[in-house]
Amino acid sequence: QGPCSSVDTACASALVAMHWGCHAVRSSECTDGLVLAVSLKLVPHTTLGAASAGMLSVDGRCKTLDARANGYARAEGVAALAVGGSAGGSAAPSTLLDGSAVRQDGRSASLTAPNGSAQRLVLLGPLGRASVSLDEVACIEAHGTGTALGDPTEAGSLAGVHGARTASLAV
């Protein structure tokens, strides 16, 4: 993705934008960048579709990685992150991930049935590219569907790669 690129990958758009922003800095396409993410729910069609498919939490609260999980809650949000080495030449703090990965989930039974094998592969990729050991991982950004099917699959994938230490990482 080049300067001023936009990314639309549904619920993963902010993470994909961050991945490509950091990739552009690491590969010297630019020295600094600003990753912006905006999620607005302007029309009801997607929400109505998710509700009719039984994907939304009946109480409007997402209880990610919790035994009480009963779906997710759609919400609006805005976030910005400066990425790079010099943050525009100023002393402003910036971030550059040691490694990140984006991958399609692969074949699965349905949209709401994640593929654990694909998730394990996407977790392992950035570790090798960044030359980072499992012990050096400080934080994991998880998808966290808040569903009885998605969360255990994702937690199992995280445990399959990171083992018992996953519970101590900020997810």
85-138: pLDDT as tens digits: 654 555 556 666 778 888 777 777 777 778 888 888 888 888 888 888 888 887
| CA-CA-CA-CA dihedral for 21, 27, 30, 34, to nearest 10 | 10
8 Å CB contact between 108 and 117: no
CA–CA–CA angle 79, 168, 115 (5° rounding): 70
pTM of the model: 0.74
**pLDDT tens digits, 21-36:** 888 888 888 888 888 9
